[in-house]
Amino acid sequence: MSVVALIPARGGSRRIPRKNVRTFAGLPMIGYPIRAAMESGVFDHIVVSTEDEDIARIAEACGAEVPFRRPTELAGDFSTTEDVIRHYLRWEARFTPRMLCCIYPATPFLTPATLVRGKTLLEEHPDARSVVTVTPYPHPVQRALVLEEKGMLRWLFPEHSLRRTQDEHLVYHDAGQAYWMRVSSSSDGAEEPLLFRAALPLPLGVYETVDLDTPEDWAFAEELYCLRNRFSGLES
């Protein structure tokens, strides 16, 4: 039974148009997760799920398989990652992968080592069903402030207003990089979730992942990527 990387990459990004194939530090964005998956050496297949012909062509040129085109109804703004995973599992009905790792396409900071760590963690914990990359919030969320209707500030959690930040529990959020999961023959059904199911955390540092939602995010991430590579002696 094989181990599969599935990269869901639709063509309709709105906030950063054509984000998944836009050049980032000299390489099309989707080339980064494909390269990380290939260099990790843990996958039998690296599959890109897309409805977009340009993404398919570039993904194949980078070394991934694009054996089908995703239905357009699963490539809209409200399509979910789970829908895309289940579509792949139904399409690949001839066999059920032992493990599947869903890797988001805009992940230039994803490393082969992170993918290996995720697979190893899942293998070492038979009671777990999935592994999720997470990263800590840069400031304790227990001391969050929100705006009232009249524009005044108030504590979201008033019971924490007098606590020192160093006394608060460390809280994580989804890093949006990779999601390892065990796959069963019934996993393409809708009766149980695939993501965050009996999930173990795979913590990443705050500079190992950057959200790419705006042009400002993109510019910052590209500078950070090039700077990090310059100091580590890597090529971009």
The pLDDT value given to residue 236? 42
Q: How many domains is the chain partitioned into structurally?
A: 1
Where helices occur in 62-181 by DSSP H, the ranges are: 81-91, 112-124
Say what the pLDDT of residue 93 is.
Answer: 75
Q: Indicate whether 151 belongs to any domain.
A: no
Is there a domain that residue 126 lies in? yes
| Maximal CA-CA distance, the chain | 59
Quote the pLDDT of residue 58.
98
| DSSP-H helix ranges across 41-155 | 53-61, 81-91, 112-124
Q: Has residue 149 been placed in a domain?
A: no
Residue 74 forms part of a structural domain: yes
Residue ranges of the chain whose pLDDT lies below 70? 1, 185-192, 233-236
pTM above 0.95, yes or no: no
Q: How far is 75 from 51, CA to CA, in rounded Å?
A: 7
CATH code for the domain in which residue 81 is found: 3.90.550.10
* 192 in any annotated domain: yes
Q: What is the pLDDT of residues 105-130, one digit of tens each?
A: 999 999 999 999 999 999 999 999 99
- Give all strands (DSSP E) within the chain, no chain letters: 3-8, 23-24, 27-28, 45-49, 99-103, 130-136, 145-147, 153-155, 172-182, 199-203
Going along 162-227, which residue ranges are E strands?
Answer: 172-182, 199-203
Q: Classify residue 160: in a domain, yes or no.
A: no
Give the pLDDT of residue 187.
Answer: 62
Closest to 103 (Cα-Cα) out of 145, 157, 59: 59
**Per the domain annotation, does 161 fall within a domain?**
no
Domain residue limits at 195: 3-135+172-232
Residue 170: predicted pLDDT: 92
Residue with tokens 């955390």: 201
